[in-house]
Amino acid sequence: MIFSPYDIKHFSHDAVKQPRAAVCIIKHIDSWTKNMADNTNRKKETGELDQLFQRVGKYRNGRDLDGLFKFIKKFRKMAPYNAMLLHMQRPGSIYVASAEDWESRFNRTVKPEARPLVLLKPFGPVKFVFDVLDTEGPDPFPEDILEPFKISDEEHEYECYRALNSLIRRIVADGVSYHEMDGGSAQAGRIQTASVRQEAEYCSYVMKTEYNLLVNRNLGIVEKFVTVLHELGHLYCGHLGTVDIGRWPDRRREDSLKVREFEAESVSWLVCSRMGIDSKSEKYLSDYLEGNEPVPPISLDEILKAAGMIEARINSYVSPCKSLIARVKETRRR
């Protein structure tokens, strides 16, 4: 996919003033979508977005990162990675939709000089969306749709229970086995490479177990859920290596405890906040985000991908990792 200067100009008015930044963003989207079609290239692409942030100085201090995280929280129906791309192009966005959706759902049309925003499309290259301020129509925009998603205290436990059970079932596809243990008040849980190879059923497959996720059974359901998110953040950010480079990276060389914990807590906070659930992760991150301290050299690229992977496993079926399939379950004939 190649864009001319004319195309880039129409993606963003800012591209005229900052053509290099626009070209960098478009090039990254292009390379990232090609990479989705060929997962064997992921090892080469890992870190490219982080290199872009370092070059342009984006999200390297607490205030900028806090603004990004709160923006991603607001767009809870959008994948975290796409919300980040939206923030890069138009941080003041309120609500976005395609031209077709604006017309069919809201009886609004896109203004002639509207600015298209580029997002990644599942199983495809890119899609274009428009902010509400770039539309017009006879019907007022339903402002209740802009209210952030919240759930009451009474609903917290049920929501966490539902999401936790979905995760426990589907992380088997990644070779993860969930177990509860008796632990003290200071030990919430941990994830580790399995010392003894076991097997677990996932849909019509029998999967090999590569990791054991241990959680303190004495915790409440909300605390269990938050702990699982943190530990899966470690896994999907690559801190324990990988079973398939096309699924998540191998970043065992990251030996900074501060970086690993910051990334895992960021993943946990993003998933919780987008579900309307308060967690202790925000307190851990607040020293950096509220004090505008320099952010550790984290991989924002992997944080957003990890959060998206967890949300996908909460909400829908995921295909099993092929390298972990021990065998297909036998079906009984009547």
CA proximity to 207, closest of 244, 170, 172: 172
**Residue 73 corresponds to which tokens in the numbers above?**
């929280």
Looking at the fold, whether 231 and 276 belong to one and the same domain comes out as: yes
Report the distance separating Cα 120 and Cα 49, nearest Å: 14
pLDDT of amino acid 316: 93
Range of the domain at 109: 5-146
Same-domain check for residues 47 and 177? no
> 319: which residues sit within 8 A by CB, 6+ positions away?
173
292-296: long-range contacts, CB 8 A cutoff, minimum separation 24: 292/61, 292/62, 292/63, 293/61, 293/62, 294/60, 294/61, 294/62, 295/59, 295/60, 295/61, 295/62, 295/65, 295/262, 296/256, 296/258, 296/259, 296/262
Q: At what angle do helices 257-274 and 62-74 cross, to 10 degrees?
A: 30
CB 161 within 8 A of CB 289: no
Give SS3 for 138: coil
Q: Tell me if 71 is assigned to some domain.
A: yes
pLDDT by 10s per residue, the chain, length 334: 344 433 444 444 444 344 454 455 555 555 555 554 444 444 444 466 666 555 555 676 677 787 888 888 888 788 888 888 888 888 888 888 899 998 898 899 999 888 899 888 877 788 899 988 888 888 887 766 655 444 455 677 888 899 999 999 999 999 999 999 887 666 789 999 998 889 999 999 999 999 999 999 888 888 899 999 999 999 999 999 999 999 999 999 877 888 999 999 999 999 988 888 877 666 667 666 666 667 888 889 899 999 999 999 999 999 999 999 999 977 655 5
Residue-level pLDDT at 275? 87
176 & 305 share domain: yes
Which residue, 127, 146, 165, sits at the end of a domain? 146
Residue 116 located in a structural domain: yes
Q: Write down the pLDDT at residue 154.
A: 61
Give the C-alpha distances (Å, rounded to integers) separating 232 from 145, 174, 209, 243, 323: 31, 11, 15, 14, 19
**Assigned domain for 204 exists:** yes
The residue with tokens 């895992």 is: 264
Q: Which of 88, 116, 146 is the last residue of a domain?
A: 146
Q: Are residues 161 and 96 in the same domain?
A: no
- Residue 86 and residue 78 in contact, taking contact as beta carbons nearer than 8 Å: yes
Q: Is residue 270 part of a domain?
A: yes
**Do 111 and 191 belong to one domain?**
no
Do 36 and 157 lie in a common domain? Answer: no
**Do 125 and 188 reside in the same domain of the chain?**
no
Quick check: is 161 in a domain? yes
Same domain, 100 and 174: no
Helix-strand-coil split of the chain, %, nearest 5:
50, 15, 35
Residue 36 domain-assigned (yes or no): yes
Pair (18, 49) in one structural domain: yes
Residue 334 lies in a domain: no
Distance CA 237, CA 234 (A): 5
Query: How many domains does the chain divide into?
Result: 2
CA atoms of 263 and 272, how far apart (whole Å)? 14
Burial 109-130 (b: 16+ CB within 10 A, else e): ebeeebbbbbbbeeeeebebbb
Q: Compute the distance between CA of residue 6 and CA of residue 8 in angstroms, rounded to an integer.
A: 6
From 146, 170, 205, give the residue that closes a domain: 146
- 142 and 161 share a domain? no
Q: Are residues 134 and 157 in the same domain?
A: no
Bridge partners, residue 200, by sequence? 207
Residue 27 lies in a domain: yes
Same structural domain for residues 128 and 160?
Answer: no
